[in-house]
Chain A
Amino acid sequence: MATAPTSEVITPATGTPAPPGRSALRTHLPRVVLYIILALFCIYYLLPLYVMVVNSLKPLSEITSGGMMSLPSDWTIEPWGSAWSTAQVGVEATGLRPYFLNSLMMVVPAVAITTILGALNGYVLTKWSFRGSTLIFGLLLFGCFIPFQMVLIPMARMLGLMGLAGSVSGLIFVHLVYGIGFSTLYFRNYYAAFPTELVRAAQIDGAGFFTIFRRILLPSSGPIAVVCIIWLFTNIWNDFLFGASFSDFDSQPMTVALNNLVQSSTGVKEYNVHFAGAIMAALPTLLVYIVAGRYFVRGLMAGSVKG
């Protein structure tokens, strides 16, 4: 239900009725085995999530005594409270809350600006293309595939020069710069399939560059905007490298704070708190995936298979 790209296609498996005389077991056996295999894989994929959830709801002692796989015998939401507001993250015992808010403040503007720029770029590259526009697109796109280690050193200095070092604004800027390629890719491919005759008709009707964009293309851009926003949101929310490189203690995003929480070598390892924190960090993107899975998958595919 969450993900359901239409699948009205003939598949090689045909449910040919069994010839008479064969036992029911023999006919059904392959399908039973098939379902068992599929179910085993479901367990494989769900197991880590199960581990995270159940262990975030039990006292630490139940985990350290070898009960990681069992359901809590003593249910508690205390690890969640601790992870959210009191756990020691780095030097201060603030919990993950401030960092969760940092991530939110970072992801919303970065996604919004990058999406708008991508839409405009895609519009220009398809409906007002000029000599060399494919090359420019290729260069934009290559920018999202480079190993970002290539830009860490100069970016650190540049953010300093721009007065954005160690701030959430700096992170917004970084994500914006390296997100443009993908958002342009989405809108370019989408607008390429948008009938050019509509643009021409609007030109004859007297509409200008921005009017055509706003009145003709934008109203039809809902699906691709959703795909683009989900992709950017997931990527930026889940980013670790930029967050670790360009943030201060008070501007760290969720992923970095979570890692600090888990890696901190002082004191007892509170596995239950770690799991609760991990779920918190995963929740926004998981929620997006469950609510808008279809678009999420389309975004993933478009990010890899151009066209």
Chain B
Amino acid sequence: MGFLDIKNATKSYGAVKVLYETDISVEEGEFLVLVGPSGCGKSTLLNMIAGLEDVTSGDIAIKGRSMIGVKPAERNIAMVFQSYALYPNMTVRGNISFGMEMHGIAKPERERKIDEVAELLQIQPLLDRKPGQLSGGQRQRVAMGRALTRDPDVFLFDEPLSNLDAKLRVDMRTEIKKLHQKLGTTIVYVTHDQIEALTLSTRIAVMYGGYVQQLGTPKEVYDNPANMFVAGFMGSPSMNLFPARVTNHDGTIAAEVRLSDGTQARLPFVSGTMAAHEGREIVLGIRPEAITDRDGADRNSSAIHIVEAPVELTEPAGSDTFVATNMGGKDITARFRADVQVKAGDRFPFAINMEKAVAFDPKTEARIA
């Protein structure tokens, strides 16, 4: 039994099921990120943990105690909202103090807590201002400060960075991570931004269509996506997914891929398990950084295969150059070093790291190797 247990929980609105049976067990001090496109059920699940929405069936327990029927205020949780939800008519001090006041904490104790949190988040100069006078980043801090005073068992974040501009978002991301390392609280964090998920979490639950598609560490989710949805959703640019056929040439099991000029390329698998799929059509998944120019290839990999293919487009992006080609009828993005001389129309050798390749069943979309 974990610190926060989601046991077989579901949510329906009338006949519409928005969350299917979900089991997640979160250990104390973990940073769990629920990530997925809008409408995947991630915010619903978070609201269920908060007690803002009922659980249709199943259970949610914190520290072994079932939370069914327990009011949000009595769950010992804190929540940071997307819009920050600062009370516009109260000062920053009033906002931070309100929750403690509702819980009957005496004034001196409240003052002490406010000072402590204000110092931690460096918002002392803002304490007597109204939320309307604060910038986005400052509001964000106040919202976290309000949550921090509660010493919650579980910290809930609902897309807290989505209203900030790009630069501030990166700064605040770092700050949330530092805060987690410093305080060691258990956090459940909802976002649709897969980079936030990868950078912040100790574990990720990738959600789609009301199901948890995969639950794992950032590395597991990134390197070994459970299915084509996770493969496509996590990572930017997203993983190249293209059709291939499993062949056996003198005992070498390989993926045979058709290039845009009609030639076939053969990419030998590292894993032996693919032999079982000989003759089948599969979807091959290779991340852009595993398709490089020859000199940019991973020197530690023993499975670099060179494929000559026509270059269709180049996109210099400063530190890298993304090069587009076509495999199996799909557009493929490769990540080249910035100074590689390549232009559209060239036939160019692509170095493919097959250690990083994954294969999916085209029908079930589940991973097979």
Contact = CB atoms under 8 A, between A and B. Distances in A.
Interface stretch (B81-89, B180-188, B337-345, B351-359): B81-89
A113 interface: no
Interface string A202-221: 11111100010001100110
Interface residues of A, number: 16
B87 A198 contact: yes
Q: When A and B form their complex, which 7 residue pairs have the shortest distance between CB atoms, in order from nearest? A: A206-B73, A205-B99, A206-B102, A219-B89, A201-B85, A197-B85, A197-B81
A207 B74 CA distance: 11
Interface residues of B, number: 24
Interface of A: 195, 197-198, 200-207, 211, 215-216, 219-220
Interface string B83-102: 10111111000000011001
A198 B99 CA distance: 12
A216 B87 contact: yes
Interface in B46-102: 50-52, 71-74, 77-79, 81-83, 85-90, 98-99, 102
A204 B89 CA distance: 18
Question: Per DSSP, are chain B's interface residues mostly helix, strand or loop, or mixed?
Answer: loop
A197 B50 contact: no
B103 interface: yes
A204 B99 contact: yes
B73 A200 contact: no
30 contacts: A195-B85, A197-B81, A197-B82, A198-B85, A198-B87, A198-B88, A200-B50, A200-B52, A200-B72, A200-B81, A201-B85, A201-B87, A203-B72, A203-B73, A204-B51, A204-B72, A204-B99, A205-B98, A205-B102, A206-B73, A207-B73, A207-B102, A211-B102, A215-B98, A216-B87, A216-B89, A219-B89, A219-B90, A220-B88, A220-B89
Contacts of A205: 73, 98-99, 102, 146
A191 B360 CA distance: 50
Task: Describe A's contact surface by its main secondary structure.
Answer: helix
Contacts, number: 58
A198 B102 CA distance: 15
Contacts of A219: 89-90
A236 B146 CA distance: 45
A201 B79 contact: yes
A205 B77 CA distance: 9
Nearest to B50: A204
B207 to A, nearest CB: 21
A204 B79 contact: yes
